């Protein structure tokens, strides 16, 4: 594994700003996410807000050729769904993934949305996946290991009979959109690198009702469950502090 970059106080502050902006985009878009709107329309609203209101850049746009400013992943789409002219319908579940680049630094976060009245099965998946995210976050403190994140997420997801996608993972973030380490969402406690103050990375579990296997569509981006089962994901950008963690992409609705 390449060396994990320890961020300077100045870098941390810039990533904190980018993270706050990314969280604000999710807050801004929430009232627009309803039956009948297209994911392309949601993309345009987010793009304009990031560029015009935040004076920032939507990092996914043109990243390795990705054609849009946000990722929109519906139902059995695991991640990296490309916004399109498909309208959201009652009972859909949708992940919106936002990465804002501001002053050359990135903040990355995603949230699940439920359109209308999804099935009880879908609601439970969304709820348990959010719990998985926070269980992973809560083990972050200096001296613990990256494997601890995957271990607690895997244990919680499996309690409900769900599977954990292993084809995609969290990642370091900073001046680069993606940098070391890979943050796996399954694994063994006490393994992997130890957390150190100043590390910044994402935790973003992708949890399936069915099997973990995924395939990527012909567009080269959209990842779907092979068995077409529902998938959910939540994501935050995390800073390792002296005695624990700070969530750099926390939304107002999450502040207790």
Confidence at residue 244, expressed as pLDDT on a 0 to 100 scale: 98
pLDDT of res. 2? 72
Q: pTM of the entire structure?
A: 0.97
List CB contacts of 19: < 8 A, sequence separation 6 or more.
Answer: 107, 108, 109, 237, 248, 249
List, in sequence order, the alpha helices (H) in 65-198.
Answer: 120-138, 146-159
How far is the C-alpha of 192 from the C-alpha of 6, rounded, in Å?
Answer: 16
Residue identified by tokens 């209308």 is: 116
User: Do the beta carbons of residue 118 and residue 92 sit within 8 Å?
Assistant: yes
Distance (Å, whole) CA 42 – CA 165: 26
Q: Does residue 103 have a known ligand-binding role?
A: no
Q: Which of 140, 126, 91 is nearest to 206 (CA)?
A: 126
Please name every residue paired with 182 in a beta bridge, in sequence order, or none if there are none: 171
91 is in an annotated binding site: no
| Phi and psi at residue 15, to the nearest 5° | -70, -35
Are 231 and 129 within 8 A, CB to CB? no
Q: Which residues of the chain have pLDDT under 50?
A: none
What gap in Å lies between CA 90 and CA 61, rounded to an integer? 28
Burial of 224 (0-12, 13-18, 19+ CB in 10 A): buried
- CA-CA-CA-CA torsion sign (249, 79, 135, 111): positive
Query: What are the chain's domains?
Result: 9-251 (3.90.230.10)
Query: Which pLDDT value is given to residue 18?
Result: 99
47 is in an annotated binding site: no
Rg, the chain, Cα only: 17
108 is in an annotated binding site: yes
Q: Is 131 annotated as a binding residue?
A: no
User: Contact, 136 vs 149, CB < 8 A?
Assistant: yes
What is the pLDDT at residue 195? 98
Four-point Cα dihedral 188, 191, 193, 194, nearest 10: 90
Q: Is 246 helix (H, G, I), strand (E, B) or coil?
A: strand
* Predicted pLDDT of residue 64: 96
């Amino acid at each position: 594994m390449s060396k994990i970059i320890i961020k300077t106080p100045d870098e941390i502050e810039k990533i904190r700003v980018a993270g706050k902006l990314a969280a604000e985009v999710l807050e801004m878009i929430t009232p627009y996410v309803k039956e009948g709107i297209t994911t392309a329309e949601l993309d345009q609203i987010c793009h304009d807000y990031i560029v015009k209101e935040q004076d920032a850049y939507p990092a996914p746009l043109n990243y390795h050729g990705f054609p849009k400013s946000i990722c929109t992943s519906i139902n059995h789409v695991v991640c990296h769904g490309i916004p399109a002219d498909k309208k959201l319908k009652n009972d859909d579940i949708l992940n919106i993934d936002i990465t804002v680049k501001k002053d050359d630094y990135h903040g990355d976060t995603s949230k699940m949305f439920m359109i209308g009245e999804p099935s009880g099965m879908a609601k439970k998946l969304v709820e348990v996946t959010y719990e998985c995210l926070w269980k992973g976050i809560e083990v972050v403190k200096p001296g613990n290991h990256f494997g601890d994140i995957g271990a607690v997420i895997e244990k919680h997801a499996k309690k409900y009979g769900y599977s954990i996608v292993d084809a995609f993972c969290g990642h370091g973030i900073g001046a680069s959109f993606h940098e070391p380490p890979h943050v796996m969402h399954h694994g063994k406690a006490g393994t992997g690198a130890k957390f150190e103050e100043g590390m910044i990375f994402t935790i973003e579990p992708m949890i399936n009702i069915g099997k973990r296997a995924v395939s990527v569509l012909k567009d080269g981006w959209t990842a779907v469950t092979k068995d077409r089962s529902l998938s959910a994901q939540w994501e935050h950008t995390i800073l390792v502090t002296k005695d624990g963690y700070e969530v750099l992409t926390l939304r107002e609705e999450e502040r207790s």
